[in-house]
Amino acid sequence: MNQQLTVRELFDQVGERMKLRWLAGQRGENRSIQPGGQQSRRPSMAGYLNLIFPNKVQIIGTDELQYLDSLDPRHRWEMIEKIMNFRPAALVITKDQAPPADLHAAANETDTPLWVSSLRGHDLLTYLQYHMARALAPTTTLHGVFMEVYSIGVLITGDAGSGKSELALELITRGHRLIADDAPEFTLIAPDVIDGTCPELLQDCLEVRGLGILNVREMFGDTAIKRNKYLRLVVHLQRVDGDINQQPIDRLRGDASSHEVLGVPVPMLTIPVAPGRNIAVLVEAAARNHILRLKGYDPAQTFIDRQAHQIRRHAP
């Protein structure tokens, strides 16, 4: 789903860092900022004053104020009226410049939030674009345990009772870090980058059957918890009925496929769960092997090439 936030929420989130002061239009604090809809044609969520494709947050710098001052009174008022009719989320004046009286009055009249900052326009633009793109990015919640294993984000999935939490606990004791249990949240922060975090309600908690809720931070220390991580690998635990050796598995590459998250294909490895198997060691090996693949080394292909080379050497 796509996120949304109000002008008040945006001000509270970035106001201190961006040194913002709210001058006028306080009654417009509930204006909603969200991607899509009538604003989908806009090139940016934040940008310098644009009267053709208005931005959601319009930044008014020295040049923009000089342009308004260059207009005769009639055209100046028409221009200000046009700006307000676009219903921007907010107007931001840079470098602590005094807002023109007519712009201040129009903001109050139309309930358009008018902010002023001591920062330069470029600094405001850079941070606002990053913050709003992140806050409004598509998100989803998946069932599983999200871990950092050997520096990469690994989502452990499987049916209820397949041993996800026990596996996570074993990985934590082996020095890896928990990000979120049961319902990690994932955000598409770039076209092919998915960031995973933990909901505030579940922070530091791990539920293990028979033990109940465990606080991982209190039990293992701050180093056992990771705030967020990019999703790089999905490990699916699949319970096996009968003899595991009779299961149809690719002996060279394993049961590898991909799982689509927010439209991005993520490599997925299915690990059969059976008595006597050390799943924690297998997950560690899967993470190490994935890192090798990211570096361009494919052990299965290397073995195939060796075999082909041997066949050519002994060919008559």
Annotated binding site: 158-165, 207
Residue from 41, 72, 74, 251 carrying the catalytic annotation: 251
Catalytic residue among 75, 143, 174, 309: 143
Report the binding-site residues for ATP: 158-165
Catalytic annotation present for 164: yes
Pick out the residues of the known binding site for Mg(2+). 165, 207
- Say which of 182, 195, 226, 236 is annotated catalytic: 182
Q: How far apart are CA 88 and CA 113, in angstroms?
A: 8
| Marked catalytic residue, from 164, 177, 226, 236 | 164
> How far is it, in rounded angstroms, from Cα 28 to Cα 87?
10
Token pair listed for 219: 């039990």
Contacts 24+ apart (CB under 8 A), 195-203: 195/228, 195/229, 195/230, 195/231, 196/146, 196/153, 196/155, 196/228, 196/229, 196/230, 196/231, 197/227, 197/228, 198/146, 198/227, 198/228, 199/141
Q: Return d(Cα 71, Cα 78) in angstroms, integer.
A: 10
What are the residue numbers of the active site? 143, 164, 182, 251
